Amino acid sequence: MRKAFTALIVAVAVITLTGLGGCALSPVPAWELLKGAGTATSTALATAAPAKASNTVHHGDAPVRTLCIEFNRNAPLEDLVPAMQAELKGQGVESRVYEPGTGLQQCDVWLRYVATIEWGVPPLASGYRANLSAASLSLHRADGTLLSTSSYVAEENFGLARWAGTRNKIAPVVKALITGFQS
């Protein structure tokens, strides 16, 4: 990712130094160049280094087809639960969300989670934005028995992967939680 960003900077410098075909003084080529750089940066952010599941433990139980998600108000990232539900659906698992302590009779399997967010200013942005920096998901039977667990932790150097979407970060964790295989 760093190489791609460096290549983008070099390309911008070369185009600028070569005069953009004799139109270096016109604002139009500069504007087009700026738009192109913005598009390239957006693409780099969207496809930043893939997230990885870690510390996965799966006890080999029968595949889960329905589960309930215990909503965690201490994980205030608005797109986390929808991202988990979308990934669960992709794994063939239907899910419902309940407040803690409710819905106990309706659910045989529960997904519980904790998450850590960090705030920062993304490249080419002017305001702070929350991003998922760590998450731990676990599946439990209604009696509390642990079925599986898996985690996500952002890489220490962060880089552009820091600004990848929550769904991109949580997808491998959900897959590992359901299948037992880390990718």
Query: Which is more confident, 45 or 96?
Result: 96
What percentage of the chain reaches a pLDDT higher than 70? 68
Query: Are 129 and 119 contacting, i.e. CB atoms less than 8 angstroms apart?
Result: yes
Q: Give the pLDDT confidence score for residue 140 in this predicted structure.
A: 94
pLDDT at 5 over 60: no
Q: Give the pLDDT confidence score for residue 1 in this predicted structure.
A: 47
Long-range contacts of 154-161 (CB under 8 A, 24+ apart): 155/49, 159/1, 159/2, 159/48, 159/49, 160/1, 160/5, 160/44, 160/45, 160/48, 160/49, 160/123, 161/1, 161/48, 161/49, 161/51
Mean pLDDT estimate for the chain: 79
Helix (H, G, I), strand (E, B), or coil: what is residue 109?
Answer: strand
**According to CATH, what is the number of the domain 54-179?**
3.30.160
Q: Report how far residue 33's alpha carbon sits from residue 182's, in angstroms, rounded to the nearest whole number.
A: 40
Residue 161 DSSP code: G
Q: How far is CA 9 from CA 34, 118, 125, 162, in A?
A: 11, 27, 18, 20
Radius of gyration of the chain (CA): 21
Query: Which is more confident, 102 or 135?
Result: 135
pLDDT at 33 over 70: no
Domain boundaries, the chain: 2-46, 54-179
Helix (H, G, I), strand (E, B), or coil: what is residue 40?
Answer: helix
The pair phi, psi for residue 162, each rounded to 5°, is -55, -35
Mean of the pLDDT values across residues 122-146? 91
**For the whole model, what pTM was predicted?**
0.70
pLDDT at 2 over 80: no
What percentage of the chain reaches a pLDDT higher than 90? 44
pLDDT at 22 over 80: no
Phi-psi sector, 92: left (phi>0), alpha (psi -120 to 50), beta: left
* Each residue's pLDDT tens digit, 52-110: 766 677 777 778 999 999 999 999 899 999 999 999 999 999 999 999 888 777 899 99
Q: Which amino acid is at 82?
A: P
pLDDT at 160 over 80: no
* Each residue's pLDDT tens digit, 108-117: 999 999 999 9
Residue whose structure tokens are 């659906």: 89
